[in-house]
Amino acid sequence: MNKLKLIALFSFFSIGLFAQAPVKTIVIDGAVLDSATIKPLSFVTISLADAITKQAVKSTLTKDDGTFKLSGLAPKAYLLSFVYVGYKTKTIQVNGVDDFHSGSVALSTSSSKLKEVSVSALKPLTRQEVDRISYDVQADPESKSITALDMMNKVPLVSVDASDNIKLRGSGNYKILLNGKESALMAKNPSDILKSMPASNIVKIEVITTPPAKYDAEGLAGIINIITKKNAAQGYSGSVNSNYNTVNGSRLNLNTTVKQGKFGISGFAGTADRPLRVSEFDNQTTFITVPSRTLQNGMRGSGNTNTFANAELSFELDTLNLLTGTFNISKNDNKQATDQFISLYNAADALTQAYHVTNNATGTGHGSDVAINYQLGFKRNKDRLLTASYKYSTFDNNQFNDVTTTQASAQNYRQYNNSYSKEHTTQLDYIQPMKLLTLEAGGKMIFAIASAALITMYLMV
């Protein structure tokens, strides 16, 4: 009997150890060079496909130094392809048993003349034009499983740091447009909305490095233009996307398109809820000029709920006249909590002051805009367009802080910071392509109203 118990106990621990064993993953990395100049090639599309099913698994772009890295891969056989416009596509077989280091892969230029039009299964992720770089989100196999914010981190010249702050060329001074227009969805905190939105909603992301004058981008590092899906073929379609993880909480997104005759509508709506997550922190600051140090430790947490919706309606009066209307709305509720202890030490490392500070903060933001656009085409040149548009947008933001402290020289207080703005914009644009250049002209008139109020109430102890 005891022998059976020992065998059962041994089996139990064996199963437990097997269940806790980490899942093995492999890494594939390397670099891409020009075979003639031996210089690194940036923005080369690296496509990884299953060797058996030939289905795309993952893709990325090479960095400025030509290097690339694909991690978190299941150990199995793959086909690793290198795709770059103007160069011959190269494919390498990967056994997938262990990490694979391709070394320096040389691509040779394609000198053959175009004889016929063909469709290739491998499609470059990027396209570089005179004033912009376009990232084809639909060509990325991960677009069906990651968020729009994760996808932004793949776009050339764009980066997302650990705090979900989006940077363009390392700068936070930029504009984010939705289908070429400023939108309430991206007005306050675009990273929250993009974190809630699946990448499958997006067709492509453009990084406009030299924006035209109509975008009012003087002094900016550039413009990020997000192109979403629109109605196309006749009929109806829709999809539902949901996700949950222990870090970002739950997410739900609805997507629909309708095309019936001359009338079409496309749109999406979503919500995401991230519960209050608390983490500990411990910081020390040492001052050299006046020898002293400050210790800060405690806990901080944050959480938010985002809700958004987008809709675009179109009506084709005839082949030359198009009427469209757009509607965007977003709402953000966030909460933050901080509980910290501060200790001050002098040059002799003796404690001179210690106090406790707490802050419970909440905030709400609402944004919406509605626009109507009329587009006139011309029979002789379909690319020649005259567009007239009107947009009304409004946004309000309310912040509340409840601060308590045991510091003798400070008081407890409650602070209300409220702001509100609304804007009327009318715009007229004309585009006429020519043989060597494109003529663009237009005018814009903006009428804006804004108000802000800051109220601080000090509490008696």
Comparing C-alpha atoms, which of 182, 106, 111, 220 is closest to residue 368? 182
Low-confidence ranges of the chain (pLDDT < 70): 1-22, 111-123, 231-233, 460-461
Q: Which two tokens stand for residue 353?
A: 């002051």
The sign one gets for the Cα dihedral 350, 353, 355, 361 is negative
Q: Which residue reads 């058996």 in tokens?
A: 52
CA angle 434, 439, 445 (to 5 degrees): 155
Angle value at C-alpha 129, between 127 and 133, nearest 5 degrees: 55
> How many other C-beta atoms are found inside a 10 Å radius of the C-beta of residue 237?
14
Domain 23-110 superfamily per CATH: Immunoglobulins (2.60.40.10)
**pLDDT at 145 (0 to 100):** 81
Which string of DSSP letters, residue by residue, matches 316-327? ESSSSEEEEEEE
According to the model, what pLDDT value does residue 351 have? Answer: 92
Cα angle at 358 between 353 and 363, to 5 degrees? 145
Q: Are strands 67-73 and 56-61 parallel, antiparallel or unpaired?
A: unpaired
Q: Is 34 exposed, middle or buried (0-12, 13-18, 19+ CB in 10 A)?
A: middle
d(CA 9, CA 325): 68
**Is there a contact between 365 and 331 (Cβ–Cβ < 8 Å)?**
yes
| pLDDT at site 8 | 47
Residue 6, burial from CB neighbour count under 10 angstroms (0-12, 13-18, 19+): exposed
pTM score of the predicted model: 0.71
Q: Which fold has domain 125-228?
A: Ferric Hydroxamate Uptake Protein; Chain A, domain 1 (2.170.130)
Torsions phi, psi for 149 (to 5 deg): -70, -40
The token pair at 125 is: 């992720």
> In whole angstroms, what is the distance from residue 307 CA to residue 5 CA?
56
Name every residue whose Cβ is closer than 8 Å to that of residue 411 and which is 6 or more positions away in sequence.
Answer: 405, 458, 459, 461
Q: How is the chain split into domains, by residue range?
A: 23-110, 125-228, 230-461
Burial 384-423 (b: 16+ CB within 10 A, else e): bbbbebebebbbbbebebbbbbeeeeeebeebeeeeebbb
